[in-house]
Amino acid sequence: MAPSPKARKRVIGLDICAILVCASLCLAVVVACATKAASALVVVMQDDVGDLRVPADIAQAQQLHAALKRALASAPEDARSNLWLWITLAFSSIYVFKQGFSIPGSVLLNVFAGAMFGVARGFAFICFLTACGTSICYALSHNFGRRLALRLFGDRVERVRSAIRSHRSNLLFYLIALRFFPLTPNFLLNLVSPIVGIPFFHFIISVLVGLMPYNFITAKAGGVLGNLNDLNEVFDMRNVLQLAVLAGLALLPTLCRSKLQKYASLEPSEPPRESIASSTRGAAARRKRVD
C-alpha cells in the first residue's frame, strides 16, 4: 500500500530536519575553526583585520592572500607554525562544508589554495578536500536525500538514471568523462549518485580522477592570483579545449563499447546458416509429430 501524500510530506519533513541538523553541526565546526584562526591572526595583524573574511570575488581573495602573507611574515618564528595550522584548518572546514552541502564557490577557493599553499600542494590539498566534501554529500543523499531529490529534481534524476543504465558496462569511464566536462552539473551528480545506483567506489574515483584537470587549472591560476582581474580569466579558451579533449578521451571506451565487445567476443556475430537450417527442420519435424 502506497503511503498517503500527508505521510510522504511528513517523511520529507523529517529528512529536511535531519539534513539541517547535520548542516548545523558542520557549520559549528567551521565557525570554531575560523574563530580560532581569526583570534590567532589578530594578534599579529594590525590594519588588515578587515580582510579576514571568506572571499566572494577575486579582489577579496587577493586582499585576504596579501593580508595572510603579511601576517605570517611578521609573526614570531615559534608562532608561525601555529598560524599555518589554524589557517589550514579554517580553509579545510570551509571547503568541505561548501562541497558537502553543494554551496557554489569552489573555483574561488581553489584559486586561493593555489596562491596560499603553492600550486602543487594546493592542487593535492583541494583534491583531497573535494573527495571529503563530496563523500559527505553522497552520505547525506543516501540517508536523507532520496525523497527530497525526487521531489525537487524528478525529471533530471530520471534522465541521469537512464544515462547511467545505458553506460553500466563502462560506468567508471563514463562518470570520469562527466566530471572532466560536466554537461550534468557536479552538484546534481553528487546529489543523485546514490539514488540512481552509482556505487560509492565508482563515485569517489570519478571525483578524484575526473576533477583533477579542473582542480589543477584553478590551482594553477592561484599562482598568478595578483594578475587576475576576473574569474572568467581562469577558464580561457585554451583551458576549456583541454577539458574537452580530456572528456573525449575518457569517453572513448564508452563510445567504442559495442565494437570492443564484438571483437573481444568468442561467439560469432551471426549464427551459422547450417545451424539455422537444422533448427528450422527440427521445428518442422516436431510440428508434424504433434499433428
pLDDT (tens digit per residue) in 182-208: 666 888 899 999 999 999 999 999 999
Question: What are 265's three cell numbers?
Answer: 567476443
Q: Average per-residue pLDDT in the chain?
A: 79
Please answer whether residues 99 and 62 qualify as being in contact, where contact means their C-beta atoms are separated by less than 8 angstroms.
no
Instruction: Give me the domain span that covers residue 66.
Output: 10-72+80-261
- pLDDT: is 241 or 16 the higher one? 16
**At residue 25, does pLDDT exceed 90?**
yes
Query: Exposure string (b/e) for 59-96, b if CB count within 10 Å is 16 or more?
Result: eebbbbbebbebbbeebeeeeeeebeebbbbbbbbbbb
Residue 218 domain flag: yes
The pLDDT of residue 149 is 85
pLDDT band with cut points at 50, 70 and 90 for residue 30: very high
Please answer whether residues 115 and 61 qualify as being in contact, where contact means their C-beta atoms are separated by less than 8 angstroms.
yes
Of 169, 244, 257, 170, the closest CA to residue 214 belongs to: 244
**At residue 31, does pLDDT exceed 90?**
yes
Residue 284 domain flag: no
Any idea which of 7-11, 194-198, 208-212, 216-220 has the lowest mean pLDDT? 7-11
129-147: pLDDT as tens digits:
999 999 999 999 999 988 8
Residue 283 domain flag: no
**At residue 19, does pLDDT exceed 80?**
yes
**At residue 23, does pLDDT exceed 90?**
yes
Q: From CA 248, how far away is CA 165, in angstroms rounded?
A: 20
Q: From CA 126, how far away is CA 189, in angstroms rounded?
A: 19
Q: From CA 151, how far away is CA 99, in angstroms rounded?
A: 22
Residue 144 domain flag: yes
Residue 126 domain flag: yes
The pLDDT of residue 109 is 92
Residue 176 domain flag: yes
pLDDT band with cut points at 50, 70 and 90 for residue 257: low
Residue 269 domain flag: no
pLDDT band with cut points at 50, 70 and 90 for residue 56: confident
* C-alpha separations of 138 from 121, 135, 158, 213 in Å: 26, 5, 18, 22
pLDDT band with cut points at 50, 70 and 90 for residue 69: confident
- In this prediction the pTM is 0.79
Average pLDDT on 85-100 reads: 94
pLDDT band with cut points at 50, 70 and 90 for residue 264: very low
Average pLDDT on 106-125 reads: 90
Q: From CA 262, how far away is CA 212, in angstroms rounded?
A: 33
The pLDDT of residue 139 is 94
Please answer whether residues 196 and 164 qualify as being in contact, where contact means their C-beta atoms are separated by less than 8 angstroms.
yes
Average pLDDT on 67-96 reads: 88
Using DSSP, state whether 263 is helix, strand or coil.
helix
- pLDDT: is 32 or 66 the higher one? 32
The pLDDT of residue 265 is 39
**At residue 216, does pLDDT exceed 70?**
yes
Q: From CA 22, how far away is CA 16, in angstroms rounded?
A: 10
102-114: pLDDT as tens digits:
888 888 899 899 9
Please answer whether residues 221 and 228 qualify as being in contact, where contact means their C-beta atoms are separated by less than 8 angstroms.
yes
Residue 139 domain flag: yes
The pLDDT of residue 171 is 87
Percent of residues, the chain, with pLDDT higher than 90: 28
The pLDDT of residue 263 is 42
What is the count of structural domains for the chain?
1
Q: From CA 221, how far away is CA 57, in angstroms rounded?
A: 14
The pLDDT of residue 201 is 94
The pLDDT of residue 153 is 83
In the chain, the amino acid numbered 286 is R
